[in-house]
Homo-oligomer: A and B are copies of this chain.
Protein backbone atom coordinates (compact mmCIF):
# COMPACT_ATOMS: atom_id res chain seq x y z
CA UNK A 1 0.00 0.00 0.00
CA UNK A 2 2.93 2.20 0.74
CA UNK A 3 3.71 2.99 -2.86
CA UNK A 4 0.41 4.60 -3.82
CA UNK A 5 -0.37 8.30 -3.46
CA UNK A 6 -3.56 10.25 -4.15
CA UNK A 7 -7.27 9.52 -4.23
CA UNK A 8 -8.37 10.40 -7.76
CA UNK A 9 -5.13 11.36 -9.47
CA UNK A 10 -3.41 8.32 -8.01
CA UNK A 11 0.17 7.31 -8.60
CA UNK A 12 1.97 4.05 -7.86
CA UNK A 13 5.75 4.15 -8.02
CA UNK A 14 8.08 1.18 -8.36
CA UNK A 15 11.75 0.35 -8.61
CA UNK A 16 14.98 0.23 -6.69
CA UNK A 17 18.23 2.08 -7.33
CA UNK A 18 19.72 -1.09 -8.75
CA UNK A 19 17.62 -3.42 -10.90
CA UNK A 20 15.62 -3.08 -14.11
CA UNK A 21 14.50 0.47 -13.57
CA UNK A 22 12.19 2.82 -11.74
CA UNK A 23 8.87 4.27 -12.76
CA UNK A 24 5.30 5.12 -12.06
CA UNK A 25 1.74 4.31 -13.03
CA UNK A 26 -0.59 7.32 -13.00
CA UNK A 27 -4.26 6.41 -12.72
CA UNK A 28 -7.09 8.92 -12.83
CA UNK A 29 -5.46 11.46 -15.10
CA UNK A 30 -8.22 13.26 -17.02
CA UNK A 31 -8.43 12.42 -20.72
CA UNK A 32 -7.47 14.72 -23.60
CA UNK A 33 -4.55 16.46 -21.91
CA UNK A 34 -1.80 17.18 -24.41
CA UNK A 35 1.42 15.79 -22.98
CA UNK A 36 4.76 14.67 -24.36
CA UNK A 37 7.76 12.81 -23.04
CA UNK A 38 9.76 16.00 -23.60
CA UNK A 39 7.65 18.00 -21.15
CA UNK A 40 8.07 15.32 -18.53
CA UNK A 41 11.79 15.06 -19.22
CA UNK A 42 12.18 18.74 -18.39
CA UNK A 43 11.35 18.16 -14.72
CA UNK A 44 13.31 14.91 -14.63
CA UNK A 45 16.39 16.76 -15.85
CA UNK A 46 16.14 19.10 -12.86
CA UNK A 47 16.11 16.05 -10.58
CA UNK A 48 18.76 13.90 -12.23
CA UNK A 49 22.19 13.28 -10.74
CA UNK A 50 25.33 14.75 -12.24
CA UNK A 51 23.71 18.01 -13.33
CA UNK A 52 26.32 20.07 -11.44
CA UNK A 53 29.39 19.59 -9.28
CA UNK A 54 27.15 19.94 -6.22
CA UNK A 55 25.41 16.64 -6.87
CA UNK A 56 26.46 13.02 -6.96
CA UNK A 57 28.70 12.19 -9.93
CA UNK A 58 26.49 9.17 -10.72
CA UNK A 59 25.75 9.62 -14.42
CA UNK A 60 22.16 8.81 -15.37
CA UNK A 61 20.36 10.24 -18.38
CA UNK A 62 17.10 9.31 -16.66
CA UNK A 63 15.36 9.20 -20.03
CA UNK A 64 11.66 8.53 -19.60
CA UNK A 65 9.60 6.18 -21.78
CA UNK A 66 5.80 6.51 -21.78
CA UNK A 67 4.50 2.94 -21.97
CA UNK A 68 0.76 3.54 -21.99
CA UNK A 69 -2.09 5.96 -21.51
CA UNK A 70 -1.02 8.51 -24.10
CA UNK A 71 -2.20 8.21 -27.72
CA UNK A 72 -1.51 10.60 -30.56
CA UNK A 73 -0.11 13.15 -28.10
CA UNK A 74 -3.02 13.24 -25.64
CA UNK A 75 -3.96 11.32 -22.51
CA UNK A 76 -6.54 8.56 -22.89
CA UNK A 77 -7.93 8.65 -19.35
CA UNK A 78 -6.38 5.22 -18.78
CA UNK A 79 -3.25 4.56 -16.68
CA UNK A 80 -0.10 6.32 -17.82
CA UNK A 81 2.89 4.07 -17.16
CA UNK A 82 6.35 5.63 -17.36
CA UNK A 83 9.68 3.85 -17.12
CA UNK A 84 13.24 5.02 -16.56
CA UNK A 85 15.94 2.39 -16.86
CA UNK A 86 18.77 2.19 -14.35
CA UNK A 87 21.97 2.74 -16.28
CA UNK A 88 24.99 3.73 -14.20
CA UNK A 89 24.43 1.20 -11.41
CA UNK A 90 27.59 -0.02 -9.73
CA UNK A 91 26.61 -2.65 -7.17
CA UNK A 92 30.28 -3.32 -6.48
CA UNK A 93 30.57 0.07 -4.76
CA UNK A 94 28.26 -1.28 -2.11
CA UNK A 95 29.98 -4.59 -1.47
CA UNK A 96 31.62 -3.27 1.70
CA UNK A 97 28.25 -2.13 3.07
CA UNK A 98 26.47 -5.39 2.34
CA UNK A 99 26.69 -6.72 5.85
CA UNK A 100 26.59 -3.57 7.95
CA UNK A 101 24.12 -0.82 8.62
CA UNK A 102 24.82 2.75 7.53
CA UNK A 103 24.01 5.11 10.46
CA UNK A 104 20.77 7.06 10.06
CA UNK A 105 20.10 5.31 6.76
CA UNK A 106 17.27 2.84 6.06
CA UNK A 107 19.49 -0.23 6.00
CA UNK A 108 18.67 -1.50 9.47
CA UNK A 109 14.98 -0.60 9.45
CA UNK A 110 14.36 -2.31 6.08
CA UNK A 111 15.96 -5.44 7.43
CA UNK A 112 13.91 -5.16 10.61
CA UNK A 113 10.73 -4.82 8.58
CA UNK A 114 11.31 -7.20 5.68
CA UNK A 115 14.01 -9.56 6.93
CA UNK A 116 16.21 -8.62 3.95
CA UNK A 117 17.15 -5.68 1.77
CA UNK A 118 18.61 -4.93 -1.63
CA UNK A 119 22.05 -3.91 -0.41
CA UNK A 120 23.11 -2.70 -3.86
CA UNK A 121 22.61 0.98 -3.19
CA UNK A 122 19.69 2.37 -1.31
CA UNK A 123 17.24 -0.06 -2.87
CA UNK A 124 13.74 1.30 -2.49
CA UNK A 125 14.97 3.98 -0.04
CA UNK A 126 17.13 5.52 -2.75
CA UNK A 127 16.22 8.96 -4.04
CA UNK A 128 15.91 7.31 -7.46
CA UNK A 129 12.44 6.27 -6.33
CA UNK A 130 11.40 9.91 -6.66
CA UNK A 131 11.86 9.76 -10.44
CA UNK A 132 8.36 8.36 -10.77
CA UNK A 133 6.95 11.13 -8.62
CA UNK A 134 8.66 13.87 -10.59
CA UNK A 135 7.41 12.36 -13.86
CA UNK A 136 3.85 12.18 -12.52
CA UNK A 137 4.22 15.63 -11.01
CA UNK A 138 5.01 17.08 -14.42
CA UNK A 139 1.62 15.89 -15.65
CA UNK A 140 -0.08 17.26 -12.55
CA UNK A 141 1.69 20.58 -13.01
CA UNK A 142 0.39 20.89 -16.55
CA UNK A 143 -3.20 20.22 -15.51
CA UNK A 144 -2.99 22.82 -12.73
CA UNK A 145 -1.59 25.39 -15.13
CA UNK A 146 -4.32 24.65 -17.63
CA UNK A 147 -7.36 24.63 -15.34
CA UNK A 148 -6.47 27.60 -13.14
CA UNK A 149 -3.07 29.02 -13.92
CA UNK A 150 -1.73 27.50 -10.72
CA UNK A 151 2.04 27.84 -10.42
CA UNK A 152 4.17 25.85 -7.98
CA UNK A 153 7.71 26.98 -7.22
CA UNK A 154 10.23 25.73 -4.67
CA UNK A 155 13.75 26.90 -3.87
CA UNK A 156 16.55 26.31 -1.41
CA UNK A 157 15.89 28.76 1.39
CA UNK A 158 18.60 27.71 3.80
CA UNK A 159 21.70 25.49 3.72
CA UNK A 160 23.04 24.74 7.16
CA UNK A 161 22.78 28.24 8.66
CA UNK A 162 23.05 30.21 5.43
CA UNK A 163 19.63 31.80 5.13
CA UNK A 164 18.35 33.30 1.87
CA UNK A 165 16.09 36.32 1.58
CA UNK A 166 13.38 35.60 -0.98
CA UNK A 167 10.18 37.44 -1.79
CA UNK A 168 7.85 34.50 -2.29
CA UNK A 169 5.30 36.65 -4.08
CA UNK A 170 7.71 37.50 -6.88
CA UNK A 171 10.27 34.73 -7.17
CA UNK A 172 10.45 33.11 -10.64
CA UNK A 173 11.58 29.77 -12.03
CA UNK A 174 14.28 31.56 -13.99
CA UNK A 175 15.76 33.11 -10.85
CA UNK A 176 15.77 29.75 -9.13
CA UNK A 177 17.27 27.82 -12.02
CA UNK A 178 19.95 30.49 -12.52
CA UNK A 179 21.53 29.30 -9.27
CA UNK A 180 23.48 26.03 -9.18
CA UNK A 181 22.06 25.43 -5.72
CA UNK A 182 18.55 26.59 -6.70
CA UNK A 183 18.57 29.56 -4.35
CA UNK A 184 17.23 32.74 -6.00
CA UNK A 185 19.12 35.02 -3.57
CA UNK A 186 22.44 35.57 -5.32
CA UNK A 187 24.55 36.26 -2.26
CA UNK A 188 23.14 33.42 -0.24
CA UNK A 189 23.43 31.14 -3.28
CA UNK A 190 27.12 31.89 -3.52
CA UNK A 191 27.67 31.22 0.16
CA UNK A 192 25.66 28.00 0.03
CA UNK A 193 27.75 26.73 -2.89
CA UNK A 194 30.94 27.41 -0.97
CA UNK A 195 29.56 25.65 2.08
CA UNK A 196 28.60 22.60 0.01
CA UNK A 197 31.98 22.50 -1.73
CA UNK A 198 33.64 22.59 1.64
CA UNK A 199 31.44 19.80 3.01
CA UNK A 200 32.14 17.61 -0.03
CA UNK A 201 35.84 18.12 0.41
CA UNK A 202 35.52 17.04 4.03
CA UNK A 203 33.55 13.97 2.85
CA UNK A 204 30.77 15.30 5.02
CA UNK A 205 27.24 16.50 4.23
CA UNK A 206 24.79 19.33 4.89
CA UNK A 207 21.08 19.86 5.41
CA UNK A 208 18.77 22.83 5.18
CA UNK A 209 15.34 24.08 4.25
CA UNK A 210 13.39 24.12 0.98
CA UNK A 211 10.59 26.65 0.74
CA UNK A 212 7.64 26.36 -1.61
CA UNK A 213 4.86 28.61 -2.84
CA UNK A 214 1.74 27.72 -4.84
CA UNK A 215 0.13 30.73 -6.47
CA UNK A 216 -3.34 31.16 -7.94
CA UNK A 217 -4.86 28.35 -5.92
CA UNK A 218 -8.54 29.23 -5.64
CA UNK A 219 -10.36 29.10 -2.29
CA UNK A 220 -12.04 25.79 -1.43
CA UNK A 221 -9.38 23.15 -2.12
CA UNK A 222 -8.61 20.61 0.60
CA UNK A 223 -10.91 18.94 3.03
CA UNK A 224 -11.90 19.21 6.65
CA UNK A 225 -10.69 16.78 9.30
CA UNK A 226 -8.21 14.07 8.26
CA UNK A 227 -7.41 15.25 4.78
CA UNK A 228 -6.80 18.89 5.45
CA UNK A 229 -4.69 20.43 2.74
CA UNK A 230 -2.03 20.98 5.39
CA UNK A 231 -2.17 17.30 6.35
CA UNK A 232 -1.92 16.18 2.74
CA UNK A 233 1.05 18.45 2.11
CA UNK A 234 2.71 17.34 5.34
CA UNK A 235 2.37 13.69 4.39
CA UNK A 236 3.58 14.46 0.87
CA UNK A 237 6.70 16.22 2.10
CA UNK A 238 7.49 13.68 4.81
CA UNK A 239 7.27 10.98 2.15
CA UNK A 240 10.44 12.45 0.60
CA UNK A 241 13.77 11.05 1.79
CA UNK A 242 15.58 12.92 4.59
CA UNK A 243 12.69 15.19 5.63
CA UNK A 244 12.62 16.04 9.36
CA UNK A 245 10.23 18.98 9.59
CA UNK A 246 7.36 20.76 7.89
CA UNK A 247 5.65 24.04 8.70
CA UNK A 248 2.91 26.05 6.99
CA UNK A 249 2.67 29.83 6.97
CA UNK A 250 3.91 31.24 10.25
CA UNK A 251 4.85 27.71 11.38
CA UNK A 252 6.80 27.21 14.60
CA UNK A 253 7.65 30.92 14.90
CA UNK A 254 3.98 31.89 14.78
CA UNK A 255 3.31 30.03 18.02
CA UNK A 256 5.07 32.80 19.91
CA UNK A 257 2.49 35.41 18.90
CA UNK A 258 -0.79 36.35 20.55
CA UNK A 259 -3.93 35.42 18.65
CA UNK A 260 -4.58 39.10 18.03
CA UNK A 261 -1.15 39.37 16.39
CA UNK A 262 -1.37 36.11 14.50
CA UNK A 263 -4.83 36.22 12.94
CA UNK A 264 -5.00 37.32 9.31
CA UNK A 265 -7.57 40.13 9.09
CA UNK A 266 -10.06 39.80 6.26
CA UNK A 267 -10.38 42.80 3.96
CA UNK A 268 -12.71 43.29 1.01
CA UNK A 269 -11.19 41.66 -2.06
CA UNK A 270 -11.84 41.57 -5.78
CA UNK A 271 -14.93 40.04 -7.35
CA UNK A 272 -16.68 39.82 -4.02
CA UNK A 273 -14.12 37.41 -2.60
CA UNK A 274 -12.49 38.38 0.71
CA UNK A 275 -8.77 39.02 0.78
CA UNK A 276 -6.47 39.00 3.82
CA UNK A 277 -4.00 41.70 4.77
CA UNK A 278 -1.42 39.17 5.99
CA UNK A 279 -0.78 35.49 5.25
CA UNK A 280 0.36 33.84 8.46
CA UNK A 281 -2.13 31.10 7.57
CA UNK A 282 0.04 30.21 4.59
CA UNK A 283 -3.00 30.15 2.33
CA UNK A 284 -4.83 27.44 4.27
CA UNK A 285 -7.47 27.87 6.98
CA UNK A 286 -9.29 24.97 8.60
CA UNK A 287 -7.48 22.69 6.16
CA UNK A 288 -8.93 24.41 3.11
CA UNK A 289 -7.28 26.90 0.77
CA UNK A 290 -8.38 30.52 1.22
CA UNK A 291 -7.16 31.94 -2.08
CA UNK A 292 -3.90 33.37 -0.70
CA UNK A 293 -0.57 31.86 -1.81
CA UNK A 294 0.11 28.52 -0.17
CA UNK A 295 3.47 28.73 1.59
CA UNK A 296 5.46 26.19 3.53
CA UNK A 297 8.95 25.12 4.56
CA UNK A 298 10.48 21.64 4.51
CA UNK A 299 13.49 20.68 6.64
CA UNK A 300 15.96 18.20 5.10
CA UNK A 301 18.58 16.61 7.33
CA UNK A 302 22.20 16.30 6.18
CA UNK A 303 22.70 13.32 3.85
CA UNK A 304 23.20 10.16 5.90
CA UNK A 305 25.77 8.53 3.62
CA UNK A 306 29.14 10.22 4.16
CA UNK A 307 32.76 9.36 3.57
CA UNK A 308 33.82 10.34 7.09
CA UNK A 309 34.55 7.32 9.28
CA UNK A 310 31.56 6.39 11.42
CA UNK A 311 30.88 3.96 14.23
CA UNK A 312 28.27 1.32 13.41
CA UNK A 313 27.42 -2.38 13.74
CA UNK A 314 27.24 -5.22 11.27
CA UNK A 315 24.30 -7.56 10.71
CA UNK A 316 25.53 -9.73 13.58
CA UNK A 317 25.40 -6.78 15.99
CA UNK A 318 29.18 -6.47 16.17
CA UNK A 319 30.77 -3.02 16.31
CA UNK A 320 32.61 -1.86 13.21
CA UNK A 321 33.59 1.28 11.34
CA UNK A 322 32.28 2.53 8.02
CA UNK A 323 33.78 4.89 5.48
CA UNK A 324 31.11 4.93 2.79
CA UNK A 325 32.33 4.82 -0.79
CA UNK A 326 29.50 5.11 -3.32
CA UNK A 327 28.63 8.39 -5.06
CA UNK A 328 26.42 10.63 -2.97
CA UNK A 329 25.16 14.17 -2.83
CA UNK A 330 26.91 16.20 -0.13
CA UNK A 331 23.66 18.16 0.09
CA UNK A 332 20.34 16.89 -1.29
CA UNK A 333 18.61 20.25 -1.33
CA UNK A 334 19.23 21.41 -4.92
CA UNK A 335 17.80 18.16 -6.25
CA UNK A 336 15.03 18.15 -3.63
CA UNK A 337 13.53 21.30 -5.17
CA UNK A 338 11.82 19.53 -8.11
CA UNK A 339 10.73 16.74 -5.74
CA UNK A 340 9.00 19.21 -3.43
CA UNK A 341 7.33 20.85 -6.40
CA UNK A 342 6.22 17.49 -7.80
CA UNK A 343 4.64 16.36 -4.53
CA UNK A 344 2.90 19.72 -4.18
CA UNK A 345 1.48 19.45 -7.69
CA UNK A 346 0.30 15.90 -7.00
CA UNK A 347 -1.55 17.05 -3.88
CA UNK A 348 -3.14 20.05 -5.55
CA UNK A 349 -4.29 18.25 -8.67
CA UNK A 350 -5.87 15.54 -6.56
CA UNK A 351 -7.73 18.12 -4.51
CA UNK A 352 -8.77 19.95 -7.64
CA UNK A 353 -10.26 16.75 -9.04
CA UNK A 354 -11.95 15.93 -5.73
CA UNK A 355 -13.55 19.33 -5.62
CA UNK A 356 -15.36 18.62 -8.93
CA UNK A 357 -17.75 16.24 -7.22
CA UNK A 358 -18.39 18.62 -4.33
CA UNK A 359 -19.81 21.14 -6.77
CA UNK A 360 -22.11 18.72 -8.54
CA UNK A 361 -25.33 20.33 -7.35
CA UNK A 362 -24.26 23.88 -8.25
Contact = CB atoms under 8 A, between A and B. Distances in A.
Contact of A262 (B104, B117, B224, B247): B104
A326 interface: no
A83 interface: yes
A360 B9 CA distance: 12
Contacts of A108: 219, 266, 274, 285, 290
A117 B1 contact: no
A190 interface: no
A52 interface: no
B249 A115 contact: no
Given A262-B301, A356-B360, A226 B220 contact: no
Nearest to A232: B235
Most B Cβ at <10 Å: residue of A69, A218, A319:
A69
B255 A239 contact: no
Given A1-B27, A286-B110, A354 B357 contact: yes
Nearest to A305: B259
A206 to B, nearest CB: 7
Nearest to A304: B263
A134 interface: no
A334 interface: no
A360 B354 CA distance: 10
A303 B262 CA distance: 9
Contact of A308 (B16, B74, B260): B260
Contacts of A264: 103-104
Contact of A263 (B104, B233, B300, B313): B104
Interface residues of A, number: 164
A233 B219 CA distance: 26
A268 B110 contact: no
A21 interface: yes
B266 A311 contact: yes
A261 to B, nearest CB: 8
Given A12-B27, A16-B68, A117-B76, A112 B304 contact: no
Question: Ordered nearest first, which 9 A-B pairs have the shortest CB separation?
Answer: A106-B286, A2-B223, A205-B259, A112-B219, A245-B247, A109-B288, A20-B67, A259-B302, A207-B255
Given A1-B27, A103-B276, A105-B285, 9 more contacts: A1-B8, A14-B80, A20-B66, A23-B67, A71-B123, A106-B288, A146-B361, A232-B235, A272-B316
